[in-house]
Structure formats: C-alpha cells, structure tokens
A and B are shown apart, each in its own frame.
Chain A
C-alpha cells in the first residue's frame, strides 16, 4: 500500500510540477477570491481583520475543489483509470497517494494565502504553533473527503457540478472548526483553539480511514 501511495503521489506531484496548473491557475484564482472578498466586504480593514479566518478557509476550500478536479482529470485522460485498475494497484495506496499530492499543493497554497491575508487584510499573524498545526489537520480534513468525492464524481458525466454539491456540505464542520481554531490563534487564546484542533484531527483521521476502506468500491463502481 505505501509503495503504491509513494508512486502515485510522486507521479501526481511530478505532473503538477510540469503542468504548473497550481502556480498558473489555482494560486491566481485564490488571490482573486481574496481580493473579491475584500471589495465586497468593505475596504475597512477592521471588518476584514475580524473575518480573516473564515475568508481564508473559504478561499482554501474553493481552491481545493479546483485541485481535486484537476487531480482526477489526470486519471481520466488516456485510459489512466483502467490502467491503474489492471495494474493491480492497492486502492488504499491510490487514495493515500492522490490525497498526499493534493495535500502538498494545498499546503503550499496556504502559505501564499497567509502572506496575502497579512498584506491585503492587515491580519496580524500570531499563535504560530496552533496556526500551523490547525492548518495541517484542517487541510487533511478537506483533502480526505475531497479525494473520496473526487473519485466518486470523476466517473460521472456531470462531475464538474456534482463535486461541489457532494463535497461542500460534508466539510462544513471542518470550516467551523478551522475558523474557530484560526481565530483563537490570531487572538492569542490558544486553549480553545487546541480543542477545535483536536476535533479537526478526529474528523481528518475518520475520513482518512473511511477513504482507505471505500476507495476500492469507488474505483470499481464509479
């Protein structure tokens, strides 16, 4: 399983590095979303600073949709999905490998977005340990269901529209937890933040386990 996961993650990251979809499309998309939030809410930085955690995670979530769609487009091109199935690859390895590659892309994006919210919204970045840990567990909590529903949707003709419908309601609890944890980190009240972080970790672990179990029927049937 781990061997397959490393092979798939390496392949996806190499394809990402060559195609530059994240750099040329996802990062600009995320910046545009942040800017639009800024225009919509008021240039008054007081409001923007207060809502920075929510805007940050909504932006990450919307970007995750693009990254997940892209990740499964790789499998659809030139019969890649059938080739993987015939190759006898461990489905849990495919789940972990694809999830890991998406995770890396999103974590890099989040670093860029943190810098952007500091500059654009004047958000005071503080509470780094909580900020970093909650970012990682939240991203896993987004990536795990994203990979499950990405695989499910990729077999459908209406995949582009159905993925957000399936995925966004499921990650609503992650958005709440991530926003609270980020608020706590930025305000310096880390006690409550770590509790949210714990809940996020449980969600992320549960969906990762679920994905490892479900990916075989998902690859077979969708």
Chain B
C-alpha cells in the first residue's frame, strides 16, 4: 500500500512484470497509475505490503534501485537557463555514463533534436521540443526499467512515432517498460499486457 496525504493511493496491487516486457497501465484519473510508477521509481515509499523492483526491495533498496530506473513524469526535469546540450550532458554525468558528451550527442541525434536547437536555452523551446529533450535526457541514462507517465503528451505525430520506436528498441534490448497513457490505441500497440487500475486497485489484467 502507498499512502499520499491521508488517503491510500494504492491499496490492492499484485503485479509481476517480466524483464523485456511492456505493460500499459490504464484507468480513470486518480486510479493510482502515476503513484504506481512513482512507487516503482522509488519516489514514493511503501506504507504496507511488499514490492521488489529489479531485485531491490522498495523498503530498503530504493537508492540502489534509482540508478537503474528511468522515470519520465509530467514534468521534464530540465533547467531553463541551460542549453539543450548542457541539460542532457548533466544527466549523463549524474548517471555516470562513460563519455557523457558523446552519449548526449547520440541521444539528441536519436531523438532528432535539430542541431540548431542544441545551443539554445531550454527555456526558449516549445513544449513539444522540451519533451523531446526530456526524452533524450531520459534515454541517455540507459535505464533498465522505463517508467513513462503520459509520455506522448505534448509530442507531435513524428515524435510520438519516434518514442514508440525507442520503446520497442529498449524492450528488444531487454529493458522493461511500464507506461501509463490515455492514448490507448497507440499505447496498446506497444504493450504486451494491459493493467486496469481503479481506486488504487488492479481490476483487470489483459
């Protein structure tokens, strides 16, 4: 169980996700999708029950777990005053990626972030461009578990296709993906399983 404020946000989740799979979380607003993703990222503590993510107990091993997961929530985790390149390089350094500058360039290339944008401050980009940069900063960390909360939001059609391709490449390389999305058609095509949450409880697994 995970409690946010005075109310349990998750109260009946029994879920086993295998490596290399993509699981889609669906449900109405307030169902607990974001809380489940934040729990798996080690951002929210368990108040009852038990959970193991990538072999790390969520009560005792959250710090070690975080080095292995990537979480892209509603916010982008970018700094307006830094350039696109500086933002991605910063996250590559924090993730201890070898040769962070080259890794950042490769991630920006993969996300098709135009060269002319790379020296611009992130604060000058459109919402869609910021999201692309956030995805590059996410990818550069090379997470083993991808936790994506409404990742398609704010992206144009091309960027959505790029994101879907990235997810497929990641799972093919052995990464596990949990994605919460209201873009059901697109996300269902990516997922090997769909989990429906309502009121913090898993009500259906398909």
Provide the residues of chain A in CB contact with B25, threshold 8 Å: none
Q: Nearest Cβ in chain B — how far from A210, in angstroms?
A: 20
Query: Would you call B93 and A3 a contact (CB within 8 A)?
Result: yes
Q: Which residues of A76-121 are within 8 A (CB) of B?
A: 77-80, 82-89
Provide the residues of chain B in CB contact with A83, threshold 8 Å: 75, 77, 91
Q: Is A14 an interface residue (CB 8 A)?
A: yes
A87 CB contact (under 8 Å) in B74, B78, B95: B95
Q: Is A18 an interface residue (CB 8 A)?
A: yes
Q: Is B119 an interface residue (CB 8 A)?
A: no
Q: Nearest Cβ in chain A — how far from B63, in angstroms?
A: 7
Q: Nearest Cβ in chain B — how far from A17, in angstroms?
A: 8
Provide the residues of chain A in CB contact with B66, threshold 8 Å: 85-88
Interface size on A, residues (CB 8 A): 22
How many Cβ-Cβ contacts under 8 Å join chain A to chain B? 70
A86 CB contact (under 8 Å) in B71, B78, B93: B71
Q: Is A195 an interface residue (CB 8 A)?
A: no
With A85-B66, A86-B41, A87-B94 in contact, do A79 and B81 touch (Cβ < 8 Å)?
no
Nearest-neighbor residue (CB-CB) of B66 within chain A: A88
Q: Is A172 an interface residue (CB 8 A)?
A: no
Q: Nearest Cβ in chain B — how far from A26, in angstroms?
A: 16
Complex CA–CA separation, A89 to B69 (angstroms): 12
Query: Would you call A14 and B75 a contact (CB within 8 A)?
Result: no
Query: Would you call B43 and A86 a contact (CB within 8 A)?
Result: yes
Q: Is A32 an interface residue (CB 8 A)?
A: no
Provide the residues of chain B in CB contact with A82, threshold 8 Å: 43, 71, 73, 75, 77
Complex CA–CA separation, A74 to B87 (angstroms): 13
B94 CB contact (under 8 Å) in A18, A89, A216: A89
Provide the residues of chain A in CB contact with B63, threshold 8 Å: 88, 216
Provide the residues of chain A in CB contact with B42, threshold 8 Å: 85-86
Provide the residues of chain A in CB contact with B96, threshold 8 Å: 3
Complex CA–CA separation, A86 to B44 (angstroms): 11
Query: Would you call A78 and B93 a contact (CB within 8 A)?
Result: no
Q: Which residues of A177-198 are within 8 A (CB) of B?
A: none
Query: Would you call B67 and A15 a contact (CB within 8 A)?
Result: no
Q: Is A11 an interface residue (CB 8 A)?
A: yes
Nearest-neighbor residue (CB-CB) of B65 within chain A: A88
Q: Is B141 an interface residue (CB 8 A)?
A: yes
Query: Would you call A15 and B75 a contact (CB within 8 A)?
Result: no
Given contacts A18-B81, A79-B76, A216-B63, 9 further A-B contacts (CB under 8 A): A7-B93, A7-B94, A11-B79, A11-B82, A77-B80, A85-B42, A86-B69, A87-B91, A88-B66
Chain B residues at the A interface, C-beta cutoff of 8 Å:
41-43, 63-64, 66-71, 73-82, 86, 90-91, 93-96, 121, 141
Pairs A-B, 4 closest by C-beta atoms:
A79-B75, A83-B77, A88-B67, A18-B81
